[in-house]
Structure formats: C-alpha cells, structure tokens
Chain A
Amino acid sequence: MNKLVAIAGGSTLVFAALALMMGVIPGYELSKTPPGPGVEPLTPIQAAGRDVYVANGCGYCHTQQVRPLPSDKAFGRPSTAGDYAYQTPELMASERTGPDLINVGARQPSEVWQYIHLYQPRAVVPQSIMPSFPWLFEVVQQAPAGVTPVALPKAYAPARGSWCRAPKRRRWWRTCCR
C-alpha cells in the first residue's frame, strides 16, 4: 500500500504543483495584463462578429499574433501583451493556413470587400481555399436601414434582390456562463 501512495500520490502531488506553477499562476498573473493604449472593450456588434468567428472555427487557419520577425512584416506591427485585453476566448491560434487577422480591419478596411470575401472568397481571391460562408447571409429585396447590401460580381449575385448579413442569433450558453 505504501508503494502505491508513493507512486500514485507522490507523482500526482508533483504534477499538481507543476500545474499550479506553469498553468494556474501564470494564467492568473497574465489575466491582469492592462489593456494597451487605444485598446477598448468590444462593442456589441464587434462581440457578435467575434462569436461568429469562434463558432465557425476561423482560428484553425488564421492566427491573431504578429511576431517580431521579418516573415510577419506584412501583417503590421508586432503584437504586444496589451493587445489581448477583452479577448476571451483567446484567438492567438497555432496555424496560419490563411493570413494573420489581428490587424485586418486596418489592412483591409473596406466593409464591402470583407462581405464579398466572406460570402465567396474566390470572387475576390481566385486561388483562395477558404470555405465560403453563404449561410451567414440572406437574400432580401430591400436592405434594411443601416445595413450594407453585398455588391457581388454578376456570377455570384442572386437573380433578384441582394445579399445581406443575416441577423445574429443569440448564443445562450455564452451569455449565461462567461
């Protein structure tokens, strides 16, 4: 019995200590990182967009971290700790099959381009292998006030009416649990 306590209990105690040291405590300390200059809480529409990003796993192809390396120059200034304020769940990600997106709003500010690209990436980037996301849009005869209709090239446009960003459904468990 003593051997069992030493092996199972001892090793579990060692692991628990290391988990505290390398997981919980750094997490706790870094959770207090102050927001960087100009980093503001997300507006409701930004938060809703972020939820769509998370739900559809955009993070498996797009990083949100610019490294201080020559190969990341195209994506703007290197990311700093304060850039990640208000970013929970974190989207730093580990794979970059598509380009980094942390500064995409600054690099590609055209709303129309973004919507066309989301609806059908190959309408604007022929070699793109990104999935298309038509179900995020709906056909309407008349775009509601304040909503930009997506100006699609002829080949992708609906016969009548135009495509619009679809209204966002509420994500019940995220609101109740976070």
Chain B
Amino acid sequence: MAAKQAPIATEEDTSELARVLIGYVISATAWLLFATFVGLLVAYKFGAPEFGSGAWLTFGRLRPIHTNDTFYGWATMALVGLAYYIAARSCRTTLYSPRLAWVGLALFNLAAIAGTIALDLGYNDGDLEYREWPWPIRLIFLAALAVSAVNLVATVARRNTEDIYLSNWYTMGGLLWVCIIALVGALPWYQYWLGQVSVSGFYMHNAVGMFFTPLTVGTFYYALPKLLNRPIYSYALGILAFWTNLVFYPIIGAHHFLFSPLPWWLQTTAIVFSVAMLVPVWGGSANFLLTMRGRTSDVAHSYPLAFILVGVIGYLVGSTQGTFEAFRSLQEVWHLTNFTVGHSHLTMYGFVTFSICGAIYALLPLATGKYPGRLGMAAHFWTAVVGSFIYVISLSVGGTIQGLDWMRGVPFIQSVDDVGPYWVWRGVGGLLMFVSHLVFAWNVWRMTIGRSAQALPLAPALAEGASA
C-alpha cells in the first residue's frame, strides 16, 4: 500500500485514483531510468567490447535486460496506470478496486526485479525475444496482467455513461489480449524445434502490436480531445481502426522470419496482411492528425501536445516502415541488420515512449494539481527528439550498409568494421535520450511529490476547465 498522503483533491475517490496513477508513473519512471542506462551500457560496448567483461556485465545478458525492462517495467506500468485513470475519468466513475491496482503494481515490480536478476545470473528460458524471463517469473507477470485486466473491465462495467468511450475499447482490448499472448508464449506443448520458431514469431510480434500499440492508441483518444478541447475527428474511423487492427495484426508475426524454413504460406500470408495493416495505421494516424488540424499554434505552445504529435508521427512512420520491411525484396537488404534495431526504437520510442510522456504531462497534473516547469518539459522534449532522431537515422543508414556488404559478398568482418562509426552515433543519440529521461524524472518529481511549478496553460483550452 502507498503511504497515506494528504488528500490531493477534495473527494476521497479522486485522490485514491490520483495516488494509483502516481504510484504507477513513479514506478515506471524508475524502470525507464534503469532500462535505458543498461541500454547505454550495451551501446557503449559496441565500441569498447572489453568494457565490463565480467559475466554479469556481458552483452548477451544485458541486452535482454534492456528490452524486457523497457517493455515490462517502463511501458507496461506507465500504460496500465494511465489506462486506469482514463477509464475512471471517461466513465465518470471510480476505480473498481484501488487495492487490486496496488496488488498489480507490486506483482509487476516483483516480476521485473526477479526477471532482471535471473537474466543477469544467466538464467533464462532461451534467447527468445521478450520472453526470456524463466517461466515462473513470466507467470507472476501474467498474474499482474490478469489482475489489471479484471480491474479495468470492472471499472468500465460500473460506468455512469451510456457509451463506452473509444479509449477504453483499446485499453481493455490490449490488456485482455496480452493475457492470451503471455499464455501462448508460456505453455510448452506446441513449442518444440521448428514449432517454437513459429510461436516466437507470433509472440514477439503480438507482445508489441497487440499490447503496447492499443494501450498507447487508447491514450491518444483520451488525451488529444482533452488537450485540444474538441472531439476526436471521427469516432467511426477509430472503430474501423480498432477492428481492422484486431483482425490483421495477429496474422503477420511470421514476417520476422522471412526466407527461413518456416512454411512459405505462413510467410506470404504475413506479408499480405502487413500491407493490410496500412488501413488501421493510416486510418488511426489520419484521425489524430485531423483532430489537431488548424491548431498548429496550440501544438507549438503545449509540450504535452508536442510529445503526442511526435508519438503520432512515430506511429505513422514506424508502422508504415514495418509494412515495407515485410516485403521480400527489402528484407533481402534489411533483415538481420541493425536497421531492425532502428525500427524498434522508432516504434517503441518514437511512438510509444513519446506518447506515454505526452499523456503523463497532460493527465498527471490534472490528477495531482501539480505542474512541471515549462523549461523542464522543453529540455526533455528537445533532447529526446534530437537523441532519438540521431539514434534511428544512424542505425538505419548503418544497417543498410551492413546489408549491402553482405550482398556484395565481402568478408563478414568488413560489415562489422563499416557500421562502426554509425554505432558511435547511435551511442550519442542514446546518451541524449538517457539525459532526457533524467529531466523527465525531475518533471515527474515536480508533478507528484516535489514542488509544483506555476500552474501553466498546458494548452490554452485547458487553462479554464482543468477540473474536468
């Protein structure tokens, strides 16, 4: 349980909801700092392979710690906290059970801590991306997801509104579907030999796109109208994107294993539906951009909106890139190269992380009544934008060179040599991203425990009706 605090808002339920959001955001921020520090260490090793050469600091153990803690520490906890807040507010009700929310948070943290220690000691369930944690730890994580899904659905069930607002479609969906994903990834009976490869394709793909994507898109549908004080451009388009994403996305996991011995039909089906994904991606992105239409000056004057704008662009560009990467002709160059690492940072960072930060800057002050400084948000925004830009561009170029080297048939070590300078630039970008997270942590501190900045107009429209 959280330490008792003085009620932040007048009503007890509201302050309980605020405490839950604060707990999740602070926890997530701590994991962001840790996971990106590990990422920085990993990036440094590309230039200094002897740095930290003991077993506990070896590249192959730190790399999954970086990815798992980014996914399941940072993004998961932040998005679940935001989903709770959005559900209670948009349904004009109270959280079904704050107690369950705290139990969930404790389980999330328990799993992430145990998983980190296990990986560092060399205990894993295989180099299977995003499910490396030994299975008992993944069951703890699954329990946390199930508790969160139940709590969220039960909150929406006690709503005082006629309709279920679109945000909750996406957040409930994401949390329910990820329980199935986690279960499919954990059960052993169909995961032997080549069979496990096809399950890996399904799992690594869906754990991102049927979990983080819907939860993040759900925050867009709430935060954007709130910040702009205008309804979403098209509710119907949002519903179309919801169902098309649901039907197309789970089919395309095999595009992570093109040209492998997996059945050719599985690979071709994955390519076809990767193209179909343009429907929900472009539909959703257009919806967000059209909601912002004609409000350029608001975006320019509001950092929460600026973060969300970058998030929307990251969603549009990253997902469209994903479609193109699925073509066999382009996979021939890019598959297995560092280009894919650039892609995953464009999506998990440019899209998911920017959107989470924007949503936290938009909603956390509404819950706590405390504001971050404008300078703090500016410093976070610009270091993060410049850093991630350098990161993605350098790995995209470096990865392309790597792929072209292989096609030219030069000795393999030449491709390692040629990417060298781009790995240095990746490190520079990563360092800026990490610095931006330190500023973010400071801003979170001011929005929660620390001293608030002057209440400032996050968006002009919000200045008047911030209590809503």
A residues with a Cβ closer than 8 A to B are: 1, 3-4, 7-8, 11-12, 14-16, 18-19, 21-33, 54-61, 63, 65, 67-74, 79-81, 83-99, 121-122, 125, 127-135, 171, 173, 177-178
Contacts and interface: CB of A to CB of B under 8 A. Distances in A.
Interface of B: 45-47, 49-50, 53-55, 58-61, 63-64, 122-129, 134-135, 153, 156-157, 163-164, 169, 172-173, 176-177, 180-181, 184, 188-200, 202-203, 206, 210, 242-243, 246-247, 250-251, 253-254, 256-257, 259-263, 266, 332, 335-338, 340-341, 403, 406-407, 409, 412-413, 416-417
Given A73-B409, A90-B126, A96-B337, A132 B184 contact: no
Contacts of A90: 126, 128, 193-194, 196-197, 200
A31 B194 contact: yes
B317 to A, nearest CB: 21
A128 B127 contact: no
Contact of B195 (A3, A29, A60, A70): A29
A85 B406 CA distance: 28
A74 B184 CA distance: 36
B271 to A, nearest CB: 14
Nearest to B414: A127
Contact of A23 (B194, B203, B246, B259): B203
Given A31-B191, A60-B64, A132-B50, A18 B250 contact: yes
Contacts of A59: 60, 126-127
A70 B406 CA distance: 8
Main secondary structure of the interface of B (DSSP, over half): helix
Contacts of B126: 54, 59, 88-91
B202 A22 contact: yes
7 contacts: A11-B169, A11-B243, A26-B263, A30-B198, A56-B61, A57-B58, A79-B260
A22 B53 CA distance: 40
B58 A95 contact: no
B142 to A, nearest CB: 14
B438 to A, nearest CB: 27
A61 B58 contact: no
Contacts, number: 239
Contacts of B64: 57, 60
Contacts of B198: 23, 26-27, 30
A81 B261 contact: yes
A148 B30 CA distance: 47
B390 to A, nearest CB: 20
Q: Which of A18, A30, A60 has the most CB of B within 10 A?
A: A30
Contacts of B261: 65, 79-81, 83-84
B341 A95 contact: yes
Contacts of B412: 74, 98-99
In the A-B complex, the 4 residue pairs with the smallest Cβ-Cβ separation, listed nearest first, are A57-B60, A89-B126, A31-B195, A59-B127
A76 to B, nearest CB: 13
Nearest to B250: A18
B190 to A, nearest CB: 4
